[in-house]
Amino acid sequence: MDRDKTIAEERKGQQSFLNYISVLLMPVIAVIFGLLIGAIFMKLIGKNPLQAYQVLWNSSFGSLRGFYETLVNTTPLIFTGLAVAFAFRCGLFNIGGDGQFLIAYTATAWVGYVISLPWFIHIPLALLAGIILGGVWGGFAGYLKATLGVHEVITTIMMNYISLYFTGYLIGGPLMKPGALPATPKILESARLWRVPHSRLNLGFMIALIAAALIYYLLWKTTIGYEVRAVGLNPDGAEYGGISVARNMVLAMFISGALAGLAGSVQVMGLEYRAYQPFGFIGYGFTGIAVALLGKNHPGGVVLSALLFGILSRGAMQMQSLAGVPKEVIEIIQAIIIFFVAAEYMFTLIARKIKRRRGGISLVNQ
Partner 1 sequence: MAGKNELALDLRKITKEFPGVLANDSVDFQLKKGEIHALLGENGAGKTTLMKCLYGLYQPDAGEIYINGEKVDVTSPNIAIEHGIGMVHQHFMLVPPFTVAENIVLGSEPRRRGMLDEKRAIEDVERLSERYGLNVDPRARVQDISVGMQQRVEILKALYRGADILILDEPTAVLTPQEVEELIEIMKSLTEEGKSIIFITHKLKEVKAISDRVTVIRRGRVIDTVSTDSATTSDLARMMVGREVVLRVEKGPAHPGEVILEVENLKAKNDRGLLALNGTTFSVRRGEILGIAGVDGNGQSELTEVLTGLRELEEGRILFKGKDITNFSTRDIIETGVSYIPEDRQHRGLVLDFTLYENLIMGNHYQPPYARGIKMNYNKIRKEVRRLIKEFDIRTPNEDVLAKSLSGGNQQKVILAREFDRDPDLLIAAQPTRGVDVGAIEFIHKRIIEQRDAGKAVLLISLELDEILSLSDRIAVIYEGEIVDILDRKEATEEKLGLLMAGAGTRRAMGGGA
Please report the DSSP string for 289-340 in residue order.
HHHHHHTTT-HHHHHHHHHHHHHHHHHHHHIIIII---THHHHHHHHHHHHH
Counting contacts by CB under 8 A, is residue 240 touching partner 1?
yes
Q: How far apart are the first and last CA of the chain?
A: 22
CA distance 327 to 172: 31
CB 252 within 8 A of CB 82: no
Among 32, 210, 233, 350, which residue interacts with partner 1 (rule: CB under 8 A)?
233
| Binding status of residue 365 toward partner 1 by CB under 8 A | yes
In the complex, minimum distance from the CB of residue 218 to partner 1, in angstroms, rounded to a whole number: 9
Contact 261, 129 (CB under 8 A): no
What is the distance between the alpha carbons of residues 49 and 51, in angstroms, rounded to a whole number? 5
Residue closer to partner 1 by CB (options 99, 225) is 225
Using CB under 8 A, pick the residue from 227, 251, 270, 311 that binds partner 1.
227
The one among 92, 193, 230, 293 contacting partner 1 by CB under 8 A: 230
Could you say which of 242, 279, 354, 363 contacts partner 1 (CB under 8 A)?
242
Nearer to partner 1, 119 or 226 (CB): 226
Report d(CA 191, CA 270) in Å as an integer: 9
Nearer to partner 1, 125 or 245 (CB): 245
Q: Which of 116, 147, 234, 348 binds partner 1 (CB under 8 A)?
A: 234
Residues 3-42, interacting with partner 1 (CB under 8 A): 12
Site string for partner 1, 332-361 (x = CB under 8 A): ------------------------x---x-
| 238 binds partner 1 per the rule CB under 8 A | yes
Give the phi and the psi of residue 175 in degrees, each rounded to 5.
Answer: -95, 0
By CB under 8 A, which span of 153-161, 218-226, 280-288, 323-331 interacts with partner 1? 218-226
> Closer to partner 1 at the Cβ: 179 or 366?
366
Contact by Cβ (8 Å): 47, 325: yes
Count of residues in contact with partner 1, rule CB under 8 A: 24
Least spacing, CB of residue 12 vs partner 1, in Å: 7
For residue 173, CA distances in Å to 43, 177, 210, 276 come to 49, 9, 35, 12
Name the 3-class secondary structure at 183. strand
Q: Is 121 helix (H, G, I), strand (E, B) or coil?
A: helix
Q: How far apart are CA 34 and CA 342, in angstroms?
A: 13
Contact residues toward partner 1 (CB under 8 A) are: 12, 221-224, 226-227, 229-230, 233-234, 236-244, 356, 360, 364-365
